Amino acid sequence: MNAIEIARQAAALGAPEEACRAYALALRSEALKPEEMLEAAISVLQFGEDYKLSYTCLYRLYRQGQYPQECLDIMTEAFYHPNAAAQKAVYSKNCKALKKYPYLFRKDFLPFEALPIRFYPFDDHGYLPFHTAEERFDDYINFRNPVISRNFFRELERPILAADVYSQYELEYLHDNIRKSEWVGRENHLYLHYTDWATFCAYLQVLDLRAILKEEKPVFLIADEISQYPIDFKARFGLDYSHFPVQPIGVREIKRLIWHAQLSSHNGGDFFNEIFDGHPNLLATPSVMMEKMENKIAEWRQILDLVKNSRDAERLLDKDKAYITRELCLMKDRTDRDILVGCYLADPALTAGMDPAARIAPALFLQPHFGNLKYKLYLNRTGQAVMHSKQYEAIQRSPIFQNFKYIKTFVPMRRSTTGYGAAVRFLHNRALAYQRGELEEAAAVDDALSGRILNRSYWVAPEDPLYTDSVLVRFEDGKLNPKATFTALTAFLDLPYTDSMTYCSFCGERDPESMAGNVRGFDPASVYRSYDEYANDAERAFIEYFMRDAYTAYGYDFHYYDGRPVDEAQADRWIDHFDRLENYISTAWRANILPKAHVTREGQEVTEAEAEWARNEAFAQDMKGIRENWRNIAKSLLYDPQFISKNGQPLHMLKMLTLDPALLEQPLYH
């Protein structure tokens, strides 16, 4: 007996709650006929708690042309009518505000009942739009979805013009990031063009335009009124903005963050920083250690909390831009975000390339960095994999990130085997530097392979606000096809592609050497380096096989893994030949770490021979643990576990930046 039959029997016996549970099970797990789906949806709607299940079924049936009138009547009665009065009130308030607004030139608002679209609330966030004349439902829409869907700021020679913007989030984003005409000394209104008046009126039921009208930035152009763009405000309204001096950027004008996320170490991040350095619409910061950034904020906060006036603050803090210090000093509710922005705005090296008269406020370009992103992998009872990283959680908890309303995230990726080889080289060179007396703290070569394999930060949680509006970009594309890559990346980040992005720089210095031995600028040598002296084929085949999801999704060919099936025996054979990494670990430990280990037995000193034996035994145990860890990782990943968030939701892979084929200078790297 299937669930639908059980539900009918329970209903016949006068047990509606039991029937509802069975109907819900049927909707979730069985292939139902249209009449059965309608029957189940009605029962769940009447007696169930999960109204979305019923709602979705009715919506699906309607769009399939099955029982359309019945479905529409139920949806209208259950979901639209209870909310129509509230929507009518919103519409009335918007119309009232717009009738008084000087830069909307049409005032013949439609009666509420004549609006061509009805919005059926689906949940607390979004609606199902219904076009009454066509009797057609559109897809679900969330007007506050925190995604900037287009390149509004692609061209800044003229005032911003945007067509048919029906996202509350994007309307507020435009309003908040376009500077007032009085602040830039020229006409700088936001021109919003709506191609159809009736449609514009319909969206006034669900948008709150009052939020963007107070400063009189928007100019609304309806249909063929687009011919008026741009308006000569001096001739038409007697407003000559050229008399106003350009105002310096204020701390709270910077409302959007571009987070240059660190996927892993030695991933080519410095190259991207050098591209965005000096962009006229960015407060572009170089890579900064997260701890150092937090310490700087704490230092400034301590001073600002103690000073009695702005002169004291200017004396104790950076003096280059005193107005920034004064602004911070006068803020009674200043946040860590405010202080961080103030720190960077006061740094002349970081603001030298900014355009002080730009039409838009700059975005903060930030890459808080860690020595390494360390992940732990946990398998639950059902074999699903949960990842955990203290470093990433530090980003999530940071008040800096929590206090930015507008966040765009881009994540550079480099071929995993190349990044691994570069990491081992870096660790080995640090160990040698310590031996030469160039470092105070003893440097070891750690297990770079486990760190690389466990780092699955290209899998992200759909509910994570830091990745709601994000993209992955390949390091190799940036090096080999820079014009196509950075044209596409600036479009995603909602920036203009400028001349400053055609070369690499650091605080104005052209083609810097980011680290001793690194290539400069667009030199592609770092793409083709194989680091054979730092990684062998067994290590690299192991990496490629266990990261084949990333290789496949992001267009990397296998260079070391031969494509054959892999079992535990093959994984063990690879691990038995990790001699290149083991040699670097052993050499550094024996030279830098073990000689410093003080050995006693029951509190008593031992002979040097006994101490040497104990140190070697301890190191042997450590290496045994490392090898065992490699085997455990292999066992965990061999069966392709599903990655889920700590909340139990399936993760999804970051989407990759798409390049325009017409702009490619070389074939795509594989």
Q: What is the pLDDT of residues 368-425, one digit of tens each?
A: 988 778 888 888 888 898 888 898 889 989 998 999 999 999 999 999 999 999 999 9
What share of the chain in percent tops pLDDT 70?
94
3-class SS at 104?
strand
Give the tokens for residue 532: 């054979």
Residue 306 confidence (pLDDT): 79
The overall average pLDDT reported for the chain is 91
Query: What b-and-e string marks burial along 382-413, b requiring 16 or more CB atoms within 10 Å of the CB?
Result: eeebbbebebbeebeebebbeebebbbbbbbb
pLDDT in tens, 610-649: 666 666 777 788 889 999 999 999 999 998 899 998 888 8
Tokens 């920036």 belong to residue? 495
Say whether pLDDT at 598 is over 60: no
Say whether pLDDT at 250 is over 90: yes
pLDDT in tens, 5-59: 888 888 888 888 888 888 888 888 888 899 989 988 998 888 877 889 999 999 9
Of residues 117 and 325, more confidently modeled: 117
Tokens 């739009």 belong to residue? 129
Tokens 């259950």 belong to residue? 78
Alpha-carbon gap, residue 4 to 2, rounded angstroms: 6
Residue 408 confidence (pLDDT): 97
| Position 357 confidence tier, pLDDT thresholds 50, 70, 90 | very high
Of residues 462 and 363, more confidently modeled: 363
Class of domain 251-415+461-528+656-663: alpha beta
Say whether pLDDT at 254 is over 90: yes
| Position 320 confidence tier, pLDDT thresholds 50, 70, 90 | low
Per-domain boundaries in the chain: 1-66, 83-247, 251-415+461-528+656-663
| Position 450 confidence tier, pLDDT thresholds 50, 70, 90 | very high
Q: How far apart are the first and last CA of the chain?
A: 53
Residue 321 confidence (pLDDT): 67
Residue 382 confidence (pLDDT): 83
Residue 463 confidence (pLDDT): 84
Of residues 24 and 668, more confidently modeled: 668
Residue 288 confidence (pLDDT): 87
Cβ contacts of 584 within 8 Å, gap of 6 or more:
424, 427, 428, 431, 445, 534
419-443 average pLDDT score: 90
| Position 521 confidence tier, pLDDT thresholds 50, 70, 90 | confident
Residue 12 confidence (pLDDT): 85
Residue 611 confidence (pLDDT): 61
| 65, 78 contact by CB (below 8 A) | no
Residue 5 confidence (pLDDT): 85
Residue 1 confidence (pLDDT): 66
Residue 585 confidence (pLDDT): 93
Alpha-carbon gap, residue 336 to 315, rounded angstroms: 21
Least confident among 154-158, 336-340, 601-605 = 601-605
Residue 47 confidence (pLDDT): 84
Least confident among 258-272, 335-349, 367-381, 503-517 = 503-517
| 152, 160 contact by CB (below 8 A) | yes
138-143 average pLDDT score: 97
Say whether pLDDT at 605 is over 80: no
> How many beta carbons lie within 10 A of that of residue 478, not counting itself?
22
